[in-house]
Structure 1
C-alpha cells in the first residue's frame, strides 16, 4: 500500500524548501515558487517553525509570495496545525499576494496521515479573501465550519478518515467560484464516518455551480459512491471524475457503466482499484473510443485472498 508524498507544486509553481542559511541574493523571486517551510522536530540544532517563518518573511518579499506549503511544524502528532496557521494568519497584512496554501505536507516517514493533528483551516479563508487554492492533509482534529469565500477555486482534503462534520461543513459552505473539489474520505477505523447521505447535497448538483472536477477518493465506500454516481445529477457538469484510491471493484464499476452516460468526461480516474481484467476491458471499451482518458493503473489484490473484505484504501493510518 503506497503512501503520500511531498507536494511538488502548488498553483502551478514548483515547490522549494526555504533554507534560512541560503544566500538571499541566490533565492528566486518571491512569486516564482511555492515556498515550503518545514522543520526537523527531533533535532535541537534547527529553528522552531516560528523562527523559520520569521526568517522567511525577512529573506523573501512577503508581498510577492503567491504559494505557501506548510510542512512539518514540530511534533505534528502532538501539536495541531493551529500553531503554524496562526502565524500565517497573523502575517496576512504582509502576505498580500497569497493565492494558495497547503497545510500538512508530511510524508509517511514524518507522520502517518492520520497522526497529523489539524485544526480549523477555514481561518485561512477568512484571513485571505484572495485565496484560490487550499489543500489539507490529515483528518485528526480537522474542522471546517461552513464558510463563505468568493475566490476559492480548488479545495483538496487528503485524509485516512474524513469526519462527517467536515464533509457537511464543506458542502454547507458558500463557494461560488469552486471548480475543483477532492475529498479523501478514508475509513471508519480512522474517523471516516461520512455516509452517502452526507454527500447528497453534492451529488444532487445543487452546490458549487462552477464545479468541473470532483474526486471522492481513498474510500472504503467507493462501490457505493460509484453506484450513486450512476444517477447523480452533478456528473453531467463534470469534466473529470476521480473515484480512485479506494475499494472499487467490479460491482461499482458495472453500476457506473450501466448508469448515465459518461462519454462527456475528459478523464475518469479509477487508479488503485480491485477490478478484474474483464471489467477493465469493459470500462476502456465503453469510454476510450469516445475520447475519455481512463486511468486504471494500480490494480490491487485483496489481502490474504479475503475477497471484498480484504480490499484496502491507498492510505488509512
Structure 2
C-alpha cells in the first residue's frame, strides 16, 4: 500500500544525487545524468532547505547543459506544498535552457507517504519550459492541473494515491499533440480520488493526443469501470501498449474489455496486481496471446471478505 522507491533514472539517463555541502564527490558531465536535487522532509536546523540546495546546484553545475532534473523531497512536504518549488524552477528557466525532462516530488514512504505529499498547480512549469519532452509529478494532495497546450511534451506521468476529478479532467482536456506516453495513477477515494470514467472522455476520444501510443490508467479503485470505458474508446485503436495494472480489476472489467473493440493490435496489455480468476486470465491469454499481444498479469490478488462484502485494494494508496 505504500511506495518504497525513488526514481533510478529519467529521460534515458541515470540518476545522480546532487551532493551535500562540502562533499568531495566528483560531479559528472552536466548532460550525462539526471540531477536529483533534494532536501530532507524532516529537516534538522543545520540542514539546507530545498531552495538553498537548488541555489548551490545552480552555482556549481553548468546548468545550460543539464537535460533532466528530479526534485526529490523538500522540508515538511507533508505540510508545505510545492508552490515555492514551482516558483523557483520557473525563475531558473533562463539557466536551465536545455532542460528536456523534469519530475517533481520523488519521495518514497520514508520521506513522505505519497498521499501526504502536498503539491500545487504544476502547469506553469510546462509554460516556463516549452522544450520539455518528459514531465512527471508524484502526489495528488492539492495538485492542480488545468487544461494546457504543450506542443513538445512526449511523456506525462502523474503518480498518486488519489487524483481529484478536476485534475483528471484537466489532464484529459489538455492539448498535447506530441504526447506518446501517458500514465495516470487514479487511486482510491480514501486518498482523494473522486473521478469517474466520464472525466476521461476527452482523453479517450483521442482528439487532443493524436500521437499517443501508450496509455496507462493505473492504481484505480474503479478499475472495472475504467476497463469498460476503455473497451469502446477511440484512442485505443492507435495504441501499442495499454496498462490497467495496480488496481482492482476483476472478471467484470475483463469481460467488458474483451467484449469491446479488438485489442489484437496491441504489443502489450498489462493487468498486473489484479483480481482476475484463473479462468478469466486463461481466456485473456488464449484470445490475445496467439495474436502477438504480450499479456502481463503478475501479482494476482484475493479479495478480503468481512460483513458479507468483498474488499479489493489498489497497489499504492497511502
Query: What band does the TM-score fall into relative to the shorter chain?
Result: over 0.9
Tell me whether 1:255 sits opposite 2:256 in the alignment.
Answer: yes
Which residue is equivalent to 2:137?
A: 136
Which residue is equivalent to 2:91?
A: 90
- For 1:241 and 1:307, how far apart are their aligned partners in 2? 34
Which residue is equivalent to 2:5?
A: 5
Which residue is equivalent to 1:147?
A: 148
Aligned Cα root-mean-square deviation (Å): 1.6
Alignment of 1:202-241 (within 5 A): 202-241=203-242
Q: Deviations over 1:127-172 (max 9, x none)?
A: 1010111101111110111212111111111111101111111122
Given that 2:285 and 2:295 are in contact with CA atoms closer than 8 Å, whether structure 1 keeps it comes out as: yes
- For 2:309 and 2:46, how far apart are their aligned partners in 1? 49
Tell me whether 1:17 sits opposite 2:23 in the alignment.
Answer: no
Which residue is equivalent to 1:287?
A: 288
Alignment of 1:125-204 (within 5 A): 125-204=126-205
Unpaired runs of 5+ in structure 1? none
Given that 1:302 and 1:308 are in contact with CA atoms closer than 8 Å, whether structure 2 keeps it comes out as: no
* CA shift in 2, pair 1:310/1:125, >3 Å: same
- SS of the residue aligned with 1:162? coil
* TM-score normalised over the length of structure 2: 0.95
Given that 1:65 and 1:98 are in contact with CA atoms closer than 8 Å, whether structure 2 keeps it comes out as: yes
* TM-score normalised over the length of structure 1: 0.95
Q: Deviations over 1:267-301 (max 9, x none)?
A: 11111111111111111121122221111011111
- SS of the residue aligned with 1:309? strand
- For 1:257 and 1:292, how far apart are their aligned partners in 2? 13
Between 266-275 and 184-193, the greater mean CA deviation after superposition: 184-193
- For 2:303 and 2:5, how far apart are their aligned partners in 1? 23
Unpaired runs of 5+ in structure 2? none
The Cα of 1:79 is off from its aligned counterpart by 0.9
The Cα of 1:4 is off from its aligned counterpart by 4.6
